[in-house]
Structure 1
Amino acid sequence: MLKIKRQPGSLFTRLLSSFILIIILFISFNFLSYSFSRDMIQDEIIRYNHLNLDNTVRNYEAQFRLERKIALNLLFSPEANLLKRSNGSLNYEFVSAVNKSVKALYENEDLFIYNIMVMMSDMRYVIDKDGSHQSESLFTKYYLNPQYNESFWLQEMAQPFTFKVYPASTFTEKDSSKELTKRNLLPVMIKNNLNTKLAVIILLDGDKLFEKFHQSINPNFMIMDNYGQALFTMMDGSASSKLPSFPADQTYTQKDYNYYFYKTANETGFSYINRVPYENISTQFKKLNLILFSLLLVAILFSVGASIFISIKFNNPIKRIIESVQQFNSELPKQTQIKEFNIISDQFNSLLQTNKNFNHELAEKNSLLRYYSYTNKLKQIYNNAADTQETLFHDKPFQLVIFQLTYRKRFNEQAGFEQDRASSFFREFIQYNLVLKYDDPATLQLEKDEIIALVFIRNNTPDLRETLEHMKKVFDLDKELCFLTIAYSGVYRNSSEITKSYEEASSLVKLRRLNEDTQIIEHQPYECTDSAFSPSEAQEFHNNLSAGNLPQTNRLVQRMFDQMSKKQSPACHFAGFALSTADMVLKTLASLNITQHPFKGNMAPAEQLKECHTLEPYKAYFESFLRESVQLIKQKKEAYDPMITFAMNYLEEHYGEDASLDVVADKLNISGTYLSTNFKEKTGINFIEYLNGVRIRKAKHMLEGTDLKIQDISHLIGYQTINSFIRMFKKHTGLSPGEYRKMHTHSLNTRLQD
């Protein structure tokens, strides 16, 4: 071996020479790359910091420009103009409008506003995001700062400027002389020199601005105004007081082992400064030199050693393989310590063994191929693909069975394994039982909760219903954890009808009754119609829910469930009605501007209703769901302002009079437009809709409890003509007043007879 390795033309010599040449090329490339990059790194670091500061300046200047724009828009808004002409008295409507505008600006997170204040110097009054305050109370209780007090801002309002940024400072919020929070805020004042009685003060969150706009790894940052005063700084006191002079024709300078990058903005004249310690850069260079040199030395030693080792290991197996090929006969090569040679020997053995087992494996693969052929055929139903060759069934009569699995909630708590694994157990059990009685059945699982079986029918095969009943007895043993819906089609005689048989079985699955037992469905026993509220019932449900009438709302839902139960409606109809009703409740809450959810555990109704398999869980769920919803509505109503409360009480007491929008608005000394808008916003329905709801409710009580004529009831509840009353009553109830009285009288007589 040594003689061969020393030969100039040997495989070993050529391999080793090639490896050494590649190593030399890589080492040369690394040296050149490092020499070039080392000189470029420092320039790149300086360029990076310069570009980063440019980006910071651009962001800050754009933010100041935006704050100035929105403040001027607020100053020149119609509401602010009316405040300017208030002559020492405040109008609640204008103050509310300004507060609403201020709150909208505060809620915009992109403005980084902690608070925005509209200050009136003549009345010493301030409007901010929380409402309106006396300026002395605001700056001594909520925004306490030794420098920025009430007198400071009043003096600043008299100064001749329109836009000014003040040094950032810590503001303390107090309540009963107890400190609550401290904030580092950057004050900005915007005003109109023509009217010094009104100004906008914006308190920017300085820390958030810094985190958003200064994306540097070095936090030493400062903003100075035109007079050299620090407006905002993240440097320590000693560093900020020892700043160097900044030449106008440069973008950075050095002092005391620090780089100072700086830029003066054209629009505001502010100077932006970022300090980068030189020791950070030099330390990185030293570490880089040491790491690269160490890596290079290790790479050289490892590469040379690996080259020699690989060359030897690669040369020896090739040599032994050549010797084996030259000496090869009918006997297999002998095992050696060479791994590669042993692999080749094993391959010879494997080829011989493969030849012996080929027929057996081919039979197994044909069975597997048949399974996948059936699967592919059934998948065409889902994918609407074209039919494949009709070679699977050979026109044998067949029936298709669907086993739909429903896992109960307690399955995950008690079973100890996943649902997918349980589904595979079900499939194996079904296949085992079918194989015992039918020829070549196929049991497939295309969905995790659905198993499909193809059963081929012969003259002497047992009845499919009997086989399924036998399996049902086993399934019922685990009904506390899981139950099935089993539906099977009629007999079909051609493979082209597989889609038709699947559609038949799928339609039967939907006819499952509402219980927790395994069911076998083979035909449709009755005409199936969807269950839902009628338009009049839906309107009545909405009106009662909006009014917070829990008993009536719950009665409507429970009555619908009882009707479906009496008709023996399928389970899917219960689920559909439940989901549509829950959706109606959520839409009603949304119309009332209620953002809280009435369901518990952060689970949407669709998820919770999946666990309802009988009538009682449905009823119990909606009792809780409606109770929580009505509670939210009542809480919302309790938060109504006095104007809405007065309007609703007035309509309850004067529904029979001229209770128009203008009349009620005149009682409140406000405009009809303002009352209409506010009423809709607070209650979720229009004023006239609410009035008609009150009148129809009163009319129903009169129809049920008195013998008054319909025309008299119409006048008593405030309708000028009986036709208007009948039309509105039918719109709300779906019945005319006479039909409603007749139905109520019949129902009362029936209860009395019972």
Structure 2
Amino acid sequence: MRWANGWKIQYIFVRFMIPYFLFMLFTLLAGALFYRQTYDVVKKEVTHSNLQMLDQVKETVDSRFNEINRISLQLQSDPAVQSFQQVKEPFRDTTAYKVYRTQKSLYSYNAANGFILNYYLIFKNSDLALSPDSTYELPSFYRYMFSEPSKDYTTWRNDLLGHFRNREIMSSGSTVYQGKTTDLLTYVQSLGYPGHIQGALMILVDNQRLQSLLRGIDISDGGWVSIVDEKGRLVTSLSSGGMVTRQSLPPGAKSGVIEASAATGGMMMTYTTSSYNGWSYVVAQPPHVVLSKVLAIKHTTVTILLAFLIFGLILAYLFATRSGRPIVNITSALTSRLNGGELKRPKDMYGYIQHSLARLIDNNDELQQEIERQAPLLRESFFGRLLQGEYLMAEHVKSLLKHQNADIQGSGCAVGIVQFHRGGHRFQEEELRELDIERVLIQDMLGRTLKGCPFTYPVAEDKIAVLFVNGQGDPGAFRKTVERELQQLTLEISRHGLQAGFAMGGYRTSLLEVPESFEEARQALTRVQEAGPSQSVWFEDLAHDHRGFYFPAESENRLMNYIKAGETEEVRKLLASLYRENFEERHLPLAMQQLFVLDLVGCLVKVQDQLMVKEQADMRQLLQQLGTANHPKQAFDNATERFAEISDGIDQRKKSRNVQLIRDTVDYIHHQYGQADLSLDAAADHLNISKGYLSQFFKEQTGVNFSEYVENLRMDKAKQLLSETRLPIRDIAQQVGYHASSTFCRAFKRGSGISATAYRDIAHKKPASPLHRQDA
């Protein structure tokens, strides 16, 4: 059984988990797509920001070098400079003046460019270096003013004047300038033309000022930034080693991003190329530096997705378990009930539940049909007991009528007897079969013709008792209506070749008086044969012979039943009606009165014997009163009082038993309210009484139904646990007798108007008063 239940739970769990899992998968895919879109957008923005920064550096550098080139062009085209290029002996005779005049002309080209430290005109023929504020012979210039540590003078001079240079960076890096090591860029523009070099313009650019433009770029964690000229030569950089050349960039590309790879040394490269001079500005950064924002978003997104996945799986597990357990319980209950307690593993639980419900509905329909088929039998049984006077209280009669959906609405009623088949009764098989056929036909005709007649009862093989109800209020009009209906019934019976006579009892205003009307109908039945075929005889039309007293067996049975039930009031009413009938309406001789009282005393003796009354009445005193000519009524009164005393004693004993029974019932409920299988059936079995009697008895004693009382008790206990403990709702539901917490929560909210959680919050926030604690 445990294995079967475990398999069911796993099966249902998986089935319920699938929708939640698909939903989470869809959500995760949507989150991944959103993350990818966000990643691409942020990455594009970051790389675009780097490109913008490089473009700003490029534009600034282009602007400064454009100024440098303009100065270079002006100096090249200056007449004094062009004239001095042919001087070979600068300090001979009048040529010394040319040196002075050429130097003075350089004052016109003082640059406000912050990149330029100074500039010099190097003349090849005269071996002079001129600046606006100084004149040096070329060896002295290289020795005292400007020199490169890696070259001697001859090498430097040949390199400078041996090749035609057009706006080139001849050298960069550490240079000795004015006796100090300075980071410079040497911008060179040769004078003359290729093949006939007359000198060179050398402009010294402050490399620190140029690099300050590049320091705004983040090159942490091994990154670097560099400027490369159009020939792939390094102009400047902010890191050592690992510089890329122009060939490392995509050919023909003006700007872009190169993703990190082995070829780039694991660096993400951003580059742009100047359209002015063809220089390339390249920045290489580790991916985590470039994409720090993107990686932060990635980390946040992945964390959220993982948290959502874990939390979603937990919720899915809880929801699947919560949703699946009732299905398993329902399936187990259906399996155990419908399969005789044998647990079988259904392949499809929903299909099994649907099939089981269909079976239950079909069984219920069959049960209802069977109840409907038995309804006429129950109605006949009820009417038969009513004719015999077995019902003692009008409330019981009304309850039974309501149960049979045959509520009788009227101010009075009368009992009639239909007698058919006038022949003698030989009780032969053929004759009995004919009687059965005739009885079925007449009952069918009664149902169709007498529409106000809900009850019939076969009192014998050839007699059917019928209850007529007065729905008009006037007894006279009621008799006319009954006579008209009997005439219609007579015609209907005659069409089938049958004959029937009708005997009608007296009119009564209460259903408890139906036995008297039935007895009168039986007395009138003796005159039906004398009246002729198809005639009706009314008891009230008969000439009454009062030579005998009135105390029929039905009245005696009713009297004894009333006493046994402890209905003292009904006992007195019945005895009063017998007194009125025998001592007032019938003028009986003394002997007949004595016989009546004697018969009543005999009934008293029967009652005392059957009920085993300890203090029995002195029969000799009653018999002596009967022997006295003037005291038969006194003997009747004494017998009446004795009947009342016995009835009162029975009533007291019944009340005492009721008190004990209700005490036992309530004690049982208070001990078993925590059991989920507590029901009216279980209580009735425990108390050894019928379910129907316990239900009616409990309602009479407490004013509420059994189930309502149990639910109220469970709610009171649950409120106490909610107020005084911190137990989970599930545990409280189990302690007060509920299988599932959902059923308990619905019952609690239905009874209290708020949820159990809200009640607990209120109870814990507001301490209970002493009166409330005492009530609890």
Q: TM-score, normalised by structure 2?
A: 0.30
Bigger Rg, which one: 2
Q: TM-score, normalised by structure 1?
A: 0.31
